[in-house]
């Protein structure tokens, strides 16, 4: 759907001043598109992301329900980002070779985490993968865009992939079980972040919580923008590896409990 088509289908936009609202939210579209784009390879056009974000904004204007007591700017932010990530998936811009490298990196991280009982350093990861440190860091640069929107693990409820880093606000009477599961996922992510080396935790905090750009994070830490990108890539890879390990352990616990007809609640907290 083009931006023009999205606008035509928005028959019931937010309020009477929809055009003014659109103009007010355009800076947010550009900001979100630019933050995602800076983590992608240079061959991915920024204008394509911007266009997708505008389509997401128009979709948000059409679907927004003021009765949910959620600010439109907050609701639009998720719709914009979701539209951009959907467009990237449709592009299938990431070569299979890069995805193989990313999977190998995650597998190596899981293996060393088990063997060492801690997060492996970059030199240790490079050695385990048979690379020089410079080659390893170059690989991090290559796969830097693969983690965009990728903090996902398999859902315990239905087996589908679930993004642990985001939750779109829902109605106040939302299913208590759903709310509980959302809290569980967030705790899993928080526990995984707590296991990261301090430098990687700092990068994630500055980038996601303080919403600094990669360049600004580099200025704070006294390193170059490319080095921040490398640290970010390895941090996200560690998180995915850790979350997959936890997910497999919990799935095994649930399977065991199902076989013995015993509740898994007591065992759940062990992981």
In tens, the pLDDT along 94-107 reads 667 777 888 899 89
Mark whether 242 and 110 lie in a shared domain.
yes
Q: Does 200 score more than 90 pLDDT?
A: yes
Q: Give whichever of 4-13, 34-43, 123-132, 148-157 has the largest mean pLDDT.
A: 123-132
Mean pLDDT along residues 75-102: 81
Mark whether 84 and 100 lie in a shared domain.
no
pLDDT tens column, 126-175:
999 999 999 999 888 877 766 554 444 444 344 444 444 443 334 444 44
pLDDT tens column, 210-263:
888 888 999 999 999 889 989 998 998 888 888 888 777 777 776 776 666 655
What confidence score (pLDDT) does residue 263 get?
Answer: 54
Mark whether 71 and 187 lie in a shared domain.
no
Mean pLDDT of the chain: 76
H or E segment and range at residue 8: helix 3-9
Residue 130, by phi and psi: left (phi above 0), alpha (psi -120 to 50) or beta? left
Mark whether 107 and 10 lie in a shared domain.
no
Q: Please answer whether residues 38 and 226 qualify as being in contact, where contact means their C-beta atoms are separated by less than 8 angstroms.
A: no
Please identify, among 91, 113, 131, the residue that sits at the C-terminal boundary of a domain. Answer: 91
Looking up tokens 């266009």 gives 51
Q: Please answer whether residues 216 and 131 qualify as being in contact, where contact means their C-beta atoms are separated by less than 8 angstroms.
A: no
Please identify, among 47, 66, 91, the residue that sits at the C-terminal boundary of a domain. Answer: 91
Mark whether 136 and 107 lie in a shared domain.
yes
pTM above 0.85, yes or no: no
Mark whether 143 and 225 lie in a shared domain.
yes
Mark whether 81 and 134 lie in a shared domain.
no
- How many structural domains is the chain composed of? 2
Mark whether 86 and 102 lie in a shared domain.
no
Q: Please answer whether residues 60 and 87 qualify as being in contact, where contact means their C-beta atoms are separated by less than 8 angstroms.
A: no
Give me the percent of the chain exceeding a pLDDT of 70.
69
Q: Please answer whether residues 56 and 81 qualify as being in contact, where contact means their C-beta atoms are separated by less than 8 angstroms.
A: yes
What confidence score (pLDDT) does residue 170 get?
Answer: 41
Q: Please answer whether residues 136 and 122 qualify as being in contact, where contact means their C-beta atoms are separated by less than 8 angstroms.
A: yes
Other Cβ atoms less than 10 A from the Cβ of 62: the count is 17
Q: Does 124 score more than 90 pLDDT?
A: yes
Mark whether 72 and 102 lie in a shared domain.
no
pLDDT tens column, 48-70:
999 999 999 998 888 888 888 88
Mark whether 123 and 231 lie in a shared domain.
yes
Q: Please answer whether residues 49 and 56 qualify as being in contact, where contact means their C-beta atoms are separated by less than 8 angstroms.
A: no
Please identify, among 58, 91, 124, the residue that sits at the C-terminal boundary of a domain. Answer: 91
In angstroms, rounded to a whole number, what is the distance separating the alpha carbons of residues 163 and 174?
A: 18
Cα-based distances in Å from 233 to 22, 136, 150, 219, 246: 34, 11, 11, 18, 20
Residue 46's domain comprises: 3-91
Mark whether 79 and 130 lie in a shared domain.
no
Per-residue burial over 84-110, b = 16 or more CB atoms within 10 Å of its CB, e = otherwise:
bbebbeeeebbeeebeebbeebbebbb
Q: Please answer whether residues 147 and 236 qualify as being in contact, where contact means their C-beta atoms are separated by less than 8 angstroms.
A: yes
What confidence score (pLDDT) does residue 63 get?
Answer: 87
Identify the CATH number of the domain in which residue 21 sits: 1.10.1740.10
Mark whether 228 and 111 lie in a shared domain.
yes
Other Cβ atoms less than 10 A from the Cβ of 38: the count is 15
């Amino acid at each position: 759907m083009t931006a023009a088509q999205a606008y035509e289908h928005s028959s019931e936009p937010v309020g009477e001043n929809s055009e003014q609202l659109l103009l007010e939210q355009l800076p947010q579209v550009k900001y979100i598109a630019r933050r995602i784009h800076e983590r992608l390879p240079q061959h991915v056009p920024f204008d394509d992301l911007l266009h997708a974000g505008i389509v997401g904004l128009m979709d948000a204007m059409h679907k927004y329900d003021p009765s949910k007591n959620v600010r439109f700017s907050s609701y639009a932010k998720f719709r914009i980002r979701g539209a951009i990530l959907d467009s990237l998936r449709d592009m299938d811009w990431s070569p299979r070779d890069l995805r193989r490298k990313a999977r190998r990196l995650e597998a190596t991280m899981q293996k060393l985490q088990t063997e060492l009982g801690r997060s492996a350093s970059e030199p240790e990861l490079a050695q385990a993968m048979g690379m020089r440190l410079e080659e390893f860091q170059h690989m991090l640069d290559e796969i830097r865009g693969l983690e965009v929107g990728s903090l996902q693990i398999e859902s315990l409820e239905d087996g589908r992939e679930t993004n642990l880093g985001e939750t779109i606000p829902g109605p106040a009477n939302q299913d208590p079980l759903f709310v509980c599961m959302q809290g569980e996922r967030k705790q899993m992510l928080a526990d995984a972040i707590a296991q990261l080396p301090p430098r990687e935790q700092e990068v994630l905090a500055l980038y996601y919580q303080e919403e600094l750009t990669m360049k600004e994070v580099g200025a704070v830490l006294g390193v170059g923008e490319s080095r921040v990108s490398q640290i970010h890539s390895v941090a996200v890879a560690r998180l995915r590896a850790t979350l997959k390990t936890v997910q497999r352990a919990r799935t095994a616990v649930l399977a065991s409990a199902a076989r013995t007809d015993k509740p898994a609640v007591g065992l759940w907290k062990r992981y």
